[in-house]
Structure 1
Amino acid sequence: MKLAVVGGGSTYTPELIDGFARLRDILPIGELVLIDPAADRLELVGGLARRIFAKQGHPGRITTTADLDAGVADADAVLLQLRVGGQAARNEDETWPLECGCVGQETTGAGGLAKALRTVPVVLDIAERVRRTSPDAWIIDFTNPVGIVTRALLQAGHKAVGLCNVAIGFQRRFAKLLDVAPSEVYLEHVGLNHLTWERGVRLGGPGGTDMLPKLLAEHGDALAADLRLPPVLLERLGVVPSYYLRYFYAHDEVVRELGTKPSRAAEVAEMEKQLLAMYGDPALDEKPELLSRRGGAFYSEAAVDLAASLLRGGGSPVQVVNTYNNGTLPFLADDAVIEVQARVGTSGAEPLAVPALDPLYAGLVADVTAYEDLALDAALRGGRDRVFKALLAHPLIGQFEYAEALTDKLIAHNREHLAWV
């Protein structure tokens, strides 16, 4: 079995490699290709990857290349984890929206739109090249904004599934609090990528006992602290929102905070320097502890499980993924991309039935889906007017004055990545 990782020079990659090594019985890889145009990073990451495989006794071969077509040729699956413009572009996404009093974040609001505009054309070009060389390969997208990127891939006819680590993070957190194995925890996870709620935490599967009331009663304060939201909010909602809901539920507070400290991108850039220095140590043969602070916790386990199911039917039969709605949420179009539990196998992902959403959540999901429709249109066809409409539609912006100013700022900060400018 051959897997290719586009963006293989990312400092995330050793997390993925560690999972491939530990879980090789679930996903036996014969060849793993790390693809990245940054030769210096790729050499460091590739060296550590080989040492991790060797230490854990994995027989697979790891190769590195800057040649995308050669790297994806004959691959069974291609994982996308790229960042167009790098941390420098992310830093801008997180800063210029603050000038208009709007949240600066790389996956939502104006910054999220900027990332989508830079990313979608690049991902679609990669996917077309995968289709030419490996027409049967599955594309697993971990590249943000996952919902918009996955929809672009699916609409273009690619065999693609989107993946995020939010659900598996909650699963592991709840399992630890309940003192059970993670596999015993079934989440009633619903929404869009980075806009989800846990409406139930059931033991043993969909029909098991719902432990969410117990978790909220006994650990509500700690869960709220992790999310940086008031405990009373979780108590009143009776659900656990994802961390990204803080941008909606506490928008103005977040904007004030972001204006008083360095951007997350600046923190990550410094962390990446340290990580790359560590990766260059020939004695290092495991992922360093510092990597846990980089983000992407449990990404490797989720990626292995998904790839195993898509390629061999050997992973968990039900997983949280991003895929077409297909009537699951009746107030959305079938071709909207949602993030829910789905039955996953060699034929793809099919969402499971979801109980009706309370209007409190359905309204926000509908609003953000409308924004994503407009964002994808802007990413595919370009034009100032399309960018403006997407920003005006976003619930975190929604005012003419802000949308107008943010449109100009977005274009000014992303000219080199926008072919239509």
Structure 2
Amino acid sequence: MKLTVVGGGSTYTPELVDGFARLRDTLPVEELVLVDPAAERLEPVGGLARRILARQGHPGRVVTTSDLDAGIEGADAVLLQLRVGGQAARQQDETWPLECGCVGQETTGAGGLAKALRTVPVVLGIAERVRRANPRAWIVDFTNPVGIVTRALLNEGHRAVGLCNVAIGFQRKFAALLGAAPAEVHLDHVGLNHLTWETGVRLGGPEGENVLPKLLAEHGDAVAGDLRLPRSLIDRLGVVPSYYLRYYYAHDEVVAELRGRPSRAAEVAAMERELLRMYRDPALDEKPALLARRGGAYYSEAAVDLAASLLTGGGTPYQVVNAYNRGTLPFLPDDAVIEVQAAVGPQGPVPLPVPAVDPLYAGLMAQVTAYEELALEAALHGGRDRVFRALLAHPLIGQYSSADALTDRLIAHNREHLAWA
């Protein structure tokens, strides 16, 4: 089995490789190809990847290349984890929206739109080359904004599934609080990528007992603390929102915080420099503890599970993925991309039925879905008016004066990545 990681020079990659090594019985990878144009990142990451496999007795071969076509040739699955513009572009995404009193964040709001505009054309170009190399290959997208990027891929007919680590993070956290094995915990996870709620926590599978009320009663303070939201709000909602909901539920508070401290992009850039220094050490043969602070916790487990299900049918029966709605949430279009539990096999994901969704969440989902549709139009066709319409539709923006000012800033800061600008 051959797997290719586009963006293989990412400092995330050793987390992924560690999962391939530990879970080789689930996903027997014979060849792992890391594709990246940045040799100064790819070589230290590739070296550590080889040492991780060797330490754990994995027989697989690691290949590094800057040649995309050579890397994807014959691949059974291609994982996308690229960042167009690098951390420098992320730094911009997190700062210029604050000038207009809006959240600066790399996946939501104006910064998220900027990332989508840079990313969608590049990903579609890669996907078309994957299709020419192997029409049966699966594309697993971990590139943000996952919902918009996955929708772009599916609309073009690619065999694609979007993946995020939010759900598996909650599963592991809740399992620890409940004293249960992670495999026993099934989440009633509903929403869009980075706009999700855990409406139930079940032991034993989709039909298991819902222990969410017990979880909140006994561990509500811990859950609220992780989310940085008041315990009283969590109790009133009776569900667990993802930490991205703090941008919506405490927008002004977050803006004030972001204005008062260095950006997350600056923190990550510093971490990446240190990680790459560590990766160059020939004695290092395991992922360093610092990597846990980089983000992407449990990404490897989720990726291995998904790839195993798609390629061999050997993963767990139900997984949280990003896939077409197709009537699962009746208040959204069929071609909206939603993030829910799905039965995943070699034919792809089939979302599980979802109980009626509270209007408090359904309304926000519908508005963000409309924004994502407009964002995809802007990414595909360009134009200032399309960018403005997407920003005006976003619930974190909404005012025409803000949308106008943000449109000008977005184009100015991303001109080198926008063919139409």
Q: Using structure 1 for the length normalisation, give the TM-score.
A: 1.00
1:209 Cα deviation after fit: 1.0
1:192 Cα deviation after fit: 0.2
The 5-angstrom pairing of residues 43-54 of structure 1 reads 43-54=43-54
1:217 aligns with 2:217: yes
3-state SS of the aligned residue for 1:91? helix
Structure 2: segments with no counterpart, 5+ residues: none
User: How far apart, in 2, do the equivalents of 1:383 and 1:31 lie?
Assistant: 42
Count of residues paired in the alignment: 421
Deviations 1:298-337 (A, max 9, x none): 0000000000000000001110000000000001110000
Paired position in structure 2 for 1:322: 322
3-state SS of the aligned residue for 2:248? helix
Letter in 2 for 1:253: E
Paired position in structure 1 for 2:96: 96
The 5-angstrom pairing of residues 5-404 of structure 1 reads 5-404=5-404
3-state SS of the aligned residue for 1:378? helix
3-state SS of the aligned residue for 1:130? helix
1:275 Cα deviation after fit: 0.2
3-state SS of the aligned residue for 2:316? coil
1:40 Cα deviation after fit: 1.0
User: How far apart, in 2, do the equivalents of 1:48 and 1:157 lie?
Assistant: 35
3-state SS of the aligned residue for 1:341? strand
User: How far apart, in 2, do the equivalents of 1:180 and 1:317 lie?
Assistant: 18
RMSD of Structure 2 on Structure 1 (CA)? 0.4
3-state SS of the aligned residue for 1:190? strand
3-state SS of the aligned residue for 1:319? strand
1:126 Cα deviation after fit: 0.2
User: How far apart, in 2, do the equivalents of 1:155 and 1:20 lie?
Assistant: 30
Paired position in structure 1 for 2:412: 412
Letter in 2 for 1:320: V
3-state SS of the aligned residue for 2:210? coil
Letter in 2 for 1:155: N
1:135 Cα deviation after fit: 1.1
User: How far apart, in 2, do the equivalents of 1:238 and 1:185 lie?
Assistant: 18
User: How far apart, in 1, do the equivalents of 2:157 and 2:296 lie?
Assistant: 28
3-state SS of the aligned residue for 1:414? helix
User: How far apart, in 2, do the equivalents of 1:3 and 1:28 lie?
Assistant: 10
Deviations 1:153-202 (A, max 9, x none): 00000000000000000000000001110000000000000000000000
3-state SS of the aligned residue for 1:191? strand
User: How far apart, in 1, do the equivalents of 2:205 and 2:25 lie?
Assistant: 24
Letter in 2 for 1:402: S
User: How far apart, in 2, do the equivalents of 1:292 and 1:178 lie?
Assistant: 23
3-state SS of the aligned residue for 2:290? helix
Deviations 1:8-57 (A, max 9, x none): 00000000000000000000011000000000110000000000000000
Letter in 2 for 1:209: E
Letter in 2 for 1:340: V
3-state SS of the aligned residue for 2:283? coil
Deviations 1:347-373 (A, max 9, x none): 000101000100000000000000000
Letter in 2 for 1:15: E
Letter in 1 for 2:337: V
3-state SS of the aligned residue for 1:289? coil
1:207 Cα deviation after fit: 1.3
3-state SS of the aligned residue for 1:355? coil
Letter in 2 for 1:397: I
Deviations 1:252-278 (A, max 9, x none): 000000000000000000000000000
Letter in 1 for 2:206: P
3-state SS of the aligned residue for 2:209? coil
Letter in 1 for 2:129: R
1:3 Cα deviation after fit: 0.2
3-state SS of the aligned residue for 1:374? helix
3-state SS of the aligned residue for 2:161? strand
Letter in 1 for 2:288: P
3-state SS of the aligned residue for 2:215? helix
Letter in 1 for 2:8: G
User: How far apart, in 2, do the equivalents of 1:175 and 1:98 lie?
Assistant: 37
- Identity of aligned pairs, percent? 81
User: How far apart, in 2, do the equivalents of 1:324 and 1:316 lie?
Assistant: 20
Letter in 1 for 2:328: T
Letter in 1 for 2:110: A
User: How far apart, in 2, do the equivalents of 1:239 and 1:333 lie?
Assistant: 24
Structure 1: segments with no counterpart, 5+ residues: none
3-state SS of the aligned residue for 2:25? coil
User: How far apart, in 2, do the equivalents of 1:346 and 1:208 lie?
Assistant: 26
1:134 Cα deviation after fit: 1.3
User: How far apart, in 1, do the equivalents of 2:223 and 2:86 lie?
Assistant: 32
